[in-house]
């Protein structure tokens, strides 16, 4: 592409989203990010000169609509949408799960992604090479005991990805999903703490159990996920759509 890509990434002030923002910024893209944490957003703006930021509660459709408008105005259009926003939710058996916690995970992980995409599609149709990347998870490929809302939403994102790829192909918009396994950082630490508590074992045992189920015995580096996102948005991936790309150290099961 001759012009810098115009990229919007949700929940990108930390974690995987931040790594994706760093990767696109390093590749020369114009980047707009949103997050609910304004202080973290300000830090990213200082770290990555030229990045546009906006505060957004991804559980609120009206806030998402305003964010998409602000993003497309700041970027002068949109070429790439990365739907990264999502929460882990509780580690509880389904029968013990409060309904409001189920609804919170569904509202942010699945509904928020849909609202964002719906608002972004008209802008992506104006792009010469529109791309949507949905951040699913290994939890979208396997079931995980005591993680029912998280798994349900991540499986749901795969169905959304496949459907959008079919709907938007005629506009040359490519839609794919990235499915990371356990990623280095604060989130996996909290998840493993929850597993350890449920299994009445130590955090070290829970960590060892998690790594035993994958061929590569280390957690995923967020920078690798950023690099994969940049590839999927590049001309080198112009014939890849409707796919789920695991990046999980060859995870074999839950």
Which tens digits make up the pLDDT trace of 186-209? 778 887 888 898 889 999 998 888
CA–CA distance, 181 with 150 (Å, rounded to integer): 13
Residues 192, 163, single domain; the answer is no
Residues 120, 197, single domain; the answer is no
- Total domains in the chain come to 2
Q: Average pLDDT in the 235-239 region?
A: 98
Query: Would 81 be classed as within a structural domain?
Result: yes
Q: Which of 115, 144, 150, 171 is catalytic?
A: 150
144 catalytic? Reply is: no
User: 78: helix, coil or strand?
Assistant: coil
Residues 202, 228, single domain; the answer is no
Residues 197, 176, single domain; the answer is no
Residues 106, 145, single domain; the answer is yes
Domain span at residue 194 reads: 186-219
Cα atoms in the 13 Å half-sphere on the side-chain side of 129: 16
Residues 193, 163, single domain; the answer is no
Residues 60, 165, single domain; the answer is yes
Residues 165, 205, single domain; the answer is no
Query: Would 73 be classed as within a structural domain?
Result: yes
Helix, strand, coil in percent for the chain, rounding step 5 = 50, 15, 35
Query: Would 15 be classed as within a structural domain?
Result: yes
Q: Average pLDDT in the 200-227 region?
A: 92
Q: Name, in order, each residue with C-beta under 8 angstroms of 93's C-beta and a sequence gap of 6 or more.
A: 145, 146
Considering only residues 100 and 208, tell me which one the structure prediction assigns the higher pLDDT. 100
Instruction: Read off the pLDDT band of 34 (50, 70, 90).
Output: very high
Query: Would 138 be classed as within a structural domain?
Result: yes
Q: Average pLDDT in the 167-178 region?
A: 98
Q: How many C-beta atoms lie closer than 10 Å to residue 81's C-beta?
A: 30
Question: Which residue in 43, 17, 5 sits closest to 180, CA to CA?
Answer: 17
Residues 125, 206, single domain; the answer is no
Residues 115, 56, single domain; the answer is yes
Cα atoms in the 13 Å half-sphere on the side-chain side of 59: 10
Query: Would 254 be classed as within a structural domain?
Result: no
Residues 33, 95, single domain; the answer is yes
Flag whether pLDDT at 254 surpasses 80: no
- Chain-centroid distance of CA 154 in Å reads 10
């Amino acid at each position: 592409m001759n012009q810098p890509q115009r990229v919007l990434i949700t929940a990108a002030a930390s974690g995987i989203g931040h790594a994706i923002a760093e990767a696109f910024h390093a590749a020369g893209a114009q980047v707009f990010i949103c997050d609910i944490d304004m202080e973290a957003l300000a830090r990213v703006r200082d770290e990555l000169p030229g990045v546009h930021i906006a505060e957004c509660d991804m559980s609120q459709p009206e806030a998402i609509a305003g964010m998409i408008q602000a993003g497309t105005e700041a970027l002068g259009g949109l070429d790439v949408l990365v739907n990264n926003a999502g929460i882990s939710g509780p580690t509880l058996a389904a029968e013990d799960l409060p309904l409001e916690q189920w609804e919170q995970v569904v509202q942010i992980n699945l509904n928020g992604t849909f609202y964002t995409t719906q608002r972004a599609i008209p802008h992506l149709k104006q792009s010469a090479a529109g791309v949507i990347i949905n951040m699913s998870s290994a939890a979208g490929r396997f079931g995980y005991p005591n993680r029912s809302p998280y798994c349900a939403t991540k499986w749901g994102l795969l169905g959304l990805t496949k459907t959008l790829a079919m709907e938007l192909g005629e506009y040359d918009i490519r839609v794919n999903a990235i499915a990371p396994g356990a990623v280095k950082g604060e989130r996996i630490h909290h998840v493993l703490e929850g597993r350890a508590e449920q299994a009445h074992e130590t955090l070290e045992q829970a960590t060892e159990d998690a790594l035993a189920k994958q061929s590569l015995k280390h957690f995923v580096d967020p920078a690798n996920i950023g690099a994969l996102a940049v590839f999927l948005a590049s001309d080198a991936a112009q014939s890849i759509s409707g796919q789920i790309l695991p990046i999980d150290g060859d995870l074999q099961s839950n």
